[in-house]
Amino acid sequence: MAGGGGYTRIGIVKEALPAAFWLAAQGITAFVLTYRLPREGWQDGPLVLLQDGQRAMRHIRANAERYRIDPNRIGVMGFSAGGHLCGMLAARSDYRFYPQVDAIDDLSARPDFAALLYPVVSLGPPYDRTTTRRSLVGETPTLEMSEMWSLQTYIKVGCPSIFLVQADDDQVISPEHSRVLDEACREARVPVEYHRFAVGGHGFGIGQSDAPVALWPRLCRLWLTSISVMR
């Protein structure tokens, strides 16, 4: 579980914790990822958030028996910038973002599914007016650098199934981000379920909207059942 915040902060209280509590109520063990941020001065710069995500996936798998979970049914859920992080974990699981530390790093970091809520997808123009872009690649990035951090660049056959939700009146992250990702998934024949809502804005999280977008948790539950995560 990864909250948003444009990679300048992490929306734990508003997004990650409520979603984790909802998953727990469905009988799903949930973990909240407190990932490092690009502007905190880490030696590896923006790579640290992907390092933390991959290490978390491997740690959970290594302790599956302790947590009483199925190591083959471990997914990710992220909101806004957290959606970008979770999407990159899903699409780039075949790339090692840090040197091996111990035997845990022999395990797969690939999520078995990914639920992305109003995610940042592209860092290139014309969708580059986001805090996430500024946090990752600065004010005047090269096109190559923007593409390097754009999620749709890495969507390919074999990526895990994706659940995608966004409102068309989102004034923070253009709904075109989700449309770009949906199109990339369909072109690569990656299973994707994309729910568009006319009203909902940005940051609706769970239970924070009176609009139809508030139905997304039920849709997510049905999706999880359809891909055999829930039984």
Residue pLDDT, tens place only, 31-47: 999 999 999 999 999 99
* Of 108, 213, 227, 79, residue with least CA distance to 162: 227
**pTM of the predicted model, to two decimals?**
0.97
Please check the confidence at residue 209 and state whether its pLDDT lies above 80. Answer: no
Task: Give residue 28's identity as a one-letter amino acid code.
Answer: I
Q: Beta-strand (E) ranges in 73-214?
A: 76-79, 113-117, 161-167, 192-197
User: Alpha carbon 43 to chain centroid distance?
Assistant: 23
For residue 231, the model assigns a pLDDT of: 77
How large a percentage of the chain has pLDDT more than 70? 100
Give SS3 for 9.
Answer: strand
Taking Cα atoms as reference points, which of 228, 206, 215, 214 lies closest to residue 77? 206
β-sheet bridge partners, residue 54? none
| Contact (CB, 8 A) for 16 and 10 | yes
Answer yes or no: is pLDDT of 208 > 80.
no
The mean pLDDT value for 90-106 works out to 97
Which residues lie across from 210 on neighbouring strands?
none
Determine the Cα–Cα distance for residues 115 and 12; give it in Å rounded to an integer: 16
User: What is the C-alpha separation between 137 and 126, in angstroms, rounded?
Assistant: 15
At a CB cut-off of 8 Å and minimum separation 6, what does 99 contact? Answer: none
Task: Quick: pLDDT tens for 132-183.
Answer: 999 999 999 999 999 999 999 999 999 999 999 999 999 999 999 999 999 9
Helix axes 47-62, 81-91, angle to 10 degrees: 60
Q: From residue 223, how far is each of 180, 191, 216, 217, 228 by CA, in Å? A: 21, 11, 10, 10, 9
Q: How far apart are the C-alpha atoms of 229 and 204, rounded to whole Å? A: 24
User: All domains of the chain, ordered by start, with CATH?
Assistant: 12-226 (3.40.50.1820)
